[in-house]
Amino acid sequence: MENDLLQKLHANIANVYLGDPRAIDLLLVRENTEGLFSSRLDPQPDGRASEARDTMLITRRGAARIARAAFLEARKRRRRVTLVDKANVLPSMAFFRAVFDEVAASFPDVEADRVYVDAMALYLVQRPEQFDVVVTENMFGDILSDLAAGIVGGMGMAPSADIGDQYAVFQPSHGTAPDIAGRGIANPVATILSAAMMLDWLGEPAAARAIERATRTVLANPENRTADLGGALSTHALGALIASAID
């Protein structure tokens, strides 16, 4: 399971969203062991093949696990879960929705709705504030998480976590960003907020909130920006400001 990603639009960050930026706060929960990406383990066709196919793998166990995780997270937040699928076209997605509905019945205290993935791409730009927890298949989640990051300032603002039953890995959604490695210009915010997510998972919510508050405080000043946000601060400079603001 990947909790990809807790999105909070920080003040004064340039974005394409025209509504109240303070209203955006969504968590995208992405299943990352199955879905369309499961085909990456299949033999790869060579250039002489007459066709190539990828299989969308959806198991009852995997779909139920990710749906249940989404509802449990929603209970900690605003108690709303949105399933993103393509159930009107793909039988595998219709199955995913059926399993989701079964799980939803066990959480009567949480509102559940369903949106097709193409419509979701539109809604995330038009009215992202209406969403709380969003749950989806692997490939759809991979695409929508980048779109969600763009709404809040770019990939440098997007934290993420890969959370299993016993272990978890926390990292910025953008990964290693090898194209700018060693230049000291990477935005450290996604990494810092990933650390806050880790502290939440470790049972240290007070420490996590302190990091989030410090990040919001520093970014409230429009001069505190790295190059991806239109500023001139280095990775170290912005990180140091946030570290010093932690109460």
Whether residue 33 contacts residue 164, with contact meaning beta carbons closer than 8 Å, is answered with: no
Instruction: Give per-residue pLDDT as tens, 48-86.
Output: 878 888 889 999 999 999 999 999 999 999 999 999 999
- Segment among 3-17, 39-53, 92-106 with least mean pLDDT: 3-17
96-117 pLDDT, tens digit each: 999 999 999 999 999 999 999 9
pLDDT digits (tens, 9 = 90+) for 194-241: 999 999 999 999 999 999 999 999 998 989 999 888 888 999 999 999
List beta partners, residue 171.
160
Q: Which residue, chain included where needed, has tokens 């934290």? A: 159
Asked if residue 108 lies in contact with residue 72, where contact means CB atoms within 8 angstroms, the answer is no
> What number of residues does the chain have?
247
**Around Cβ 69, how many Cβ atoms within 10 Å?**
20
Measured between alpha carbons, how far is residue 25 from residues 12, 28, 112, 165, 222 in Å? 16, 10, 17, 25, 21
What are residue 188's phi and psi, to 5 degrees?
Answer: -85, -5
> What domains can you pick out in the chain, each with its CATH number?
1-37+55-153 (3.40.718.10), 169-247 (no CATH)
pLDDT at 15 exceeding the cut of 90: no
pLDDT at 151: 83
Note the pLDDT of residue 152. 80
* pLDDT classification of 10: cutoffs 50, 70, 90: low
Residue 43: per-residue pLDDT = 76
Confidence check: pLDDT of 166 > 60: yes
Q: Is 203 left (phi over 0), alpha (psi -120 to 50) or beta?
A: left
What are 141's two structure tokens?
């989640």
Chain center to CA of 10:
16
DSSP output for 144-196: HHHHHHHHTTSGGG-EEEEE-SS-EEEEETTTT-GGGTTSS----HHHHHHHH
Rounded Cα–Cα distance for residues 42 and 60 (Å): 21
Measured CA to CA, the distance from residue 121 to residue 125 in angstroms comes to 7
The separation between CA 6 and the C-alpha centre of its own chain, rounded to angstroms, equals: 6
pTM of the model: 0.81
pLDDT at res. 1: 45
Does residue 23 have a pLDDT over 80? no
Q: Is the pLDDT of residue 94 over 70?
A: yes
Q: Residue 45: its pLDDT value, please?
A: 74
Q: What value does the mean pLDDT take over residues 145-157?
A: 84
Banded pLDDT at 3 (limits 50, 70, 90): very low
CA 245 – CA 9 distance, rounded (Å): 19
pLDDT at 199: 95
Least confident segment among 2-6, 9-13, 135-139: 2-6
Q: Amino acid identity, residue 166? A: Q
Q: Using 50, 70 and 90 to split pLDDT, how confident is the model at 182?
A: confident
